Amino acid sequence: MQLQKLPNGAVRFTQLNAWDVHTFRSLPRLADYGADPMSEQRLLPRLADAAEMTPEMAMDWVEYVVPELRESFASNLATVLADLAGLAADQADQADQADQEDQADQEDQADAAEEARFALTIPAEHVESWFRAMNQARLVLSMRYGIDSEHLPDLPKLMESGHLEYWFQYELFVRLQGWLVDVVLDAG
Partner 1 sequence: MFPLPLATLRSAANLARGLRRVWAVMPGTEERPAVEQESGLDQPWHVVVSNDPVNLMSYVTLVIRRIFGYSQEKAAEMMLQVHQKGQCIVWTGAREQAELYVKQLQEHQLLSSMKKAG
- Residues 127-146 touching partner 1, rule: CB under 8 A, are 131-132, 135-136, 138-139, 142
21 residue type, one letter: V
The answer to whether 32 contacts partner 1 (rule: CB under 8 A) is no
Number of residues that bind partner 1 (CB under 8 A): 40
**Least separation, in Å, of the C-beta of 158 and partner 1?**
16
Task: Supply the DSSP string of 76-125, one letter for each residue.
Answer: HHHHHHHHHHHHHHHHHHHHHHHHHHT-S-HHHHHHHHHT--EEEEE-GG
Q: Single out the residue of 32, 36, 90, 148 in contact with partner 1 (rule: CB under 8 A).
A: 148
Output 72 or 103, the one with its CB closest to partner 1. Answer: 72
Tallying the residues shown for the chain, one arrives at: 188
Residue 30: which of 139, 186, 175 has the closest Cα? 139
Q: Single out the residue of 8, 34, 64, 162 in contact with partner 1 (rule: CB under 8 A).
A: 64
Q: Single out the residue of 4, 19, 22, 71 in contact with partner 1 (rule: CB under 8 A).
A: 71
Report d(CA 99, CA 103) in Å as an integer: 6
The answer to whether 121 contacts partner 1 (rule: CB under 8 A) is no
Rounded CA Rg of the chain? 20
The answer to whether 47 contacts partner 1 (rule: CB under 8 A) is yes
